[in-house]
Amino acid sequence: MADFSLKGMGVALVTPFKADKTIDFEALERLLDFHLQSGTDFLVVLGTTAETATLTHDECNQIVRFVVAHVGEKLPIVVGLGGNDTMALVEELKSFDLEGVHSLLSVTPFYTRPSQEGLYQHFKAVCEASPLPIVLYNVPARTGVNMTADTTLRIARDCKNVIGIKEAHCDMNQVKELI
């Protein structure tokens, strides 16, 4: 796999659907072509805007395989893989076809609202299982838990494959601590 960097403008792709609720791969192809021609610097596949929580494991794999086949090495591809069950997520990492993917975006566990130590242990296990670099994703308004700057920095220090964070907390002091 070619060297890559996640800088510039990344776009979180939507998942287009047909009227029968199946994935519209023709529309997805047009969307990918648009981004290939528009100066997008990297793609995020299976993020929140992709309605990932409503997709089956097989559908997620199909989407990733389609995007990788269509985009190739033209743009870095980041795939969202997260969940509130750490061990299930570790198993998913082992079974998911990540060939051609450059990095993973992994959200804090949702609903269960783990402690800061719980968040640390979750991401430590995910990072140890991941064959790819990881971008942490903190979005407390959606998950119900905020990963503090101290926890984020601890994870980044201890897990060498953490390459960044998508920080969606509205507290600018927390953002400043990370910078």
**Active-site residue (options: 18, 74, 137, 160):** 137
CB 150 within 8 A of CB 115: no
Active-site residue flag, 137 = yes
Rounded Cα distance between 104 and 31, Å, is 21
Contacts of 73 (CB under 8 A, 6+ apart): 1, 2
The label of the residue with tokens 């750490």 reads 86
Question: What DSSP designation does 108 have?
Answer: P
Tokens 């920080």 correspond to what residue? Answer: 167
| Helix/strand/coil for 15 | coil
Contact 15/50 with Cβ under 8 angstroms?
Answer: yes
Distance linking the first and last C-alpha atoms of the chain: 29
Residue entry with tokens 């929580």:
53
| Residue 166 annotated in active site | yes
Catalytic residue among 7, 111, 120, 166: 166
**Strand residues in 40-129 grouped as ranges (E):** 42-45, 77-80, 103-107
Catalytic positions, written as ranges: 137, 166
